Chain A
Amino acid sequence: MVLTGRERDERMEPIVIVENLMKSYKKRKTKEVIHAVKDVSFTVNRGEILGLLGPNGAGKTTTIKMICGLLTPDSGLITINGLNNQKKRLASLRQISAVLEGNRNLYWRLTVRENLEYFAGNRGESRKDIAERVDDLLQKFHLKGKENELVNRLSRGMQQKLAIAVAMLADSEVILLDEPTLGLDVETGYEVRELLREIVKTYNRTIIISTHDMDVVQDLCERTVIINKGQIVTDDKVANLLRLFDVRSYKVTLGGLLSDRQQELLEQKFPSYGYSPDTFQSILEVDLEQSEEIYELFDILKIETTPVESIDRKTINFEQIFMKIVKGDMSDVLVQSS
């Protein structure tokens, strides 16, 4: 199933254009060919935050590394701010910076400040030129008190924040983050998300985030590209997807049991209904196709004047939408919703 809903805002100007990207790896031992990315095309607009989603091995990291100029595509074209990233590799690298998978982006034997300065130096910037920006970043990333601490003494979350700070310091228009919240505990993950949100607000950069973390998507991304087995399955605004998959799913708490007659009627009207009987508090779950159907539900309940204690409309989260798109299976959404 491919969803198309590319309601591009025409005023927006694409800064990253990926066209017909292909990449396959040959396994060293078995000589087996893995098609990691198959004909992937998408664009990212200036100032946009794009979520790149997909299950393990979908080809997210491969795509990101090709955009970063670390991997040469077998075929296809990547344009960054008007520059072909193969023909003008170094010039296009000025436009981007990245935090790659895992905690592998820093020198563990250097301090926080030394890392920032070293990476800036490698881009040709002098310590003096960046001093102000370094201080600003240390402040914003709550690393001020740690600036002279060796990186290997920092917590995983701090390291991740520093890696993002290093990417920010590069002053590039596009920032790529590969799984920025992976391996972080709930609290640190939240902190990193807040930080990213802050960055988006203050610095106006274009960000591509690859993630498994649906909170990241729902919190930060305006649009997602979902890839599975090397191919794009969805490219749409997060809000659109949420709307598209929004089900009218209700959870009704009853102060008693349903009669056989009621259950029979429910079976006819709402075949997918769920019922967990309990003498004092039964739970009835029903999915409606149209909102008016709620009246029919009430008609059924009214037969025995079953006491209704509460009615909750269940909300669908992005994780469930993601599962559904990747698995191509609608029932997933309904069964797993809670």
Chain B
Amino acid sequence: MYWFNLLKANTKKEYLELKRYLPNTLALVLTFYIIFLGMFFGIQIIGDPTTQDINIQFAIVNYIFWFLAMMVINNIGWQITNEAMRGTLEQLCMSPMGLWKIMLSRLIASTVINFILIIALLYLSMFTSGQWLNVDVLAIKPIFVLTIISMFGLGFIIAGISIILKQVQAFLQILQFILAGLTFVPLSVAPMLAFFPFVKGVDLVRDVMIDGVTLSQIAAVDFMILAFNAVFYFIGGLLFFFFCERVAMNKGLLAHY
């Protein structure tokens, strides 16, 4: 029950923030809508007609993951930096639930909210462009969930860094491009990236969506890598976060002022 209330409170806050910064939110949504439309129409015109659908799907899958990664991972870094400056971070640290649970709730909340947003945008784009893609949601679900878990792990690492470093803004800017690299580069180009967070997941989702691979056709090894990544990054990220929290409490870094 504690957990559920915590999740509810943080989801509401995330939602309220989007509402309060409505002009920003609208600008963001509009930008993504335009980019989506650009992809639908652009690929249609430039692309080779035989691979058109594949190209569209490729771009869209990448894009959705990049958007989510940015909204979730970057956002947690920004939030912590801001709250450390404003002083609310210390209040969060005094929660008897533990800071990490609050952070996890926020990661979950912002994933859910942004996921709904991006899916709505996707369907809106399909509606406007008249290009109806066959997005097999059921098949990509398990891959998606495992991928999101490793993404949360990365979120915890970024959160930890943001707690102990005062100047993470520049780093967060660069992170956007690192995330773009991780989502856009196909594994066939760089196989070792499979062990980077969420690269394998995005690749598998592409397999499903583009080559029509079904769940049963995915090699057990692939799933194991995915599951390993999820566990490894989540636990590793969490441990790193705990370490940063401890350093911050030792050095008095929870308030950056």
A264 to chain B, nearest CB (A): 60
Q: Can you name 16 A-B residue pairings with CB atoms under 8 Å?
A: A25-B252, A68-B94, A69-B94, A71-B254, A104-B90, A104-B255, A104-B257, A108-B86, A109-B16, A114-B13, A118-B12, A122-B10, A123-B95, A124-B97, A125-B5, A126-B4
Please name the residue on chain A nearest to B166 by beta carbon: A28
Residues of A within 8 A of B2 (CB): 124
Interface residues of B (CB under 8 A from A): 1-6, 8-10, 12-13, 16-17, 20-21, 86-88, 90-98, 102, 246, 249-252, 254-255, 257
Those of A110-139 within 8 Å (CB) of chain B: 110, 114, 117-127
Contact A121 B252 (CB under 8 A): no
Contact B20 A109 (CB under 8 A): yes
Contact B249 A70 (CB under 8 A): yes
| A96, A109, A166 interface centre (most CB from chain B within 10 Å) | A109
With A71-B252, A117-B9, A121-B8 given, is the CB distance from A90 to B87 under 8 Å? no
Contact B97 A90 (CB under 8 A): yes
Interface residues of A (CB under 8 A from B): 25-26, 62, 65, 68-72, 90-91, 93-94, 96-98, 100, 102, 104-110, 114, 117-127, 166
A327 to chain B, nearest CB (A): 28
Within 8 Å by CB of A93, from B21, B94, B250, lies B94
Residues of B within 8 A of A106 (CB): 88
With A69-B94, A90-B96 given, is the CB distance from A102 to B87 under 8 Å? yes
Contact A93 B20 (CB under 8 A): no
Sample of 12 further A-B pairs with CB below 8 A, known A90-B98, A121-B6, A124-B96: A26-B251, A70-B94, A70-B254, A94-B96, A104-B257, A105-B87, A107-B13, A118-B9, A124-B5, A126-B1, A126-B4, A127-B8
Alpha-carbon distance A315/B16, docked complex (angstroms): 54
Alpha-carbon distance A118/B91, docked complex (angstroms): 11
Alpha-carbon distance A114/B92, docked complex (angstroms): 15
| B16, B20, B21, B95 interface centre (most CB from chain A within 10 Å) | B95
Residues of A within 8 A of B88 (CB): 104-107
Residues of A within 8 A of B246 (CB): 72
Residues of B within 8 A of A102 (CB): 87
B69 to chain A, nearest CB (A): 25
A228 to chain B, nearest CB (A): 20
With A100-B90, A104-B87, A110-B16 given, is the CB distance from A71 to B249 under 8 Å? yes
Residues of B within 8 A of A26 (CB): 251
Please name the residue on chain B nearest to A62 by beta carbon: B252
With A25-B251, A124-B1 given, is the CB distance from A93 to B96 under 8 Å? yes
Contact B5 A121 (CB under 8 A): yes
Alpha-carbon distance A216/B250, docked complex (angstroms): 31
B42 to chain A, nearest CB (A): 37
Residues of B within 8 A of A71 (CB): 249-250, 252, 254
Q: Give 3 closest A-B pairs by Cβ, nearest first.
A: A121-B9, A104-B87, A124-B2
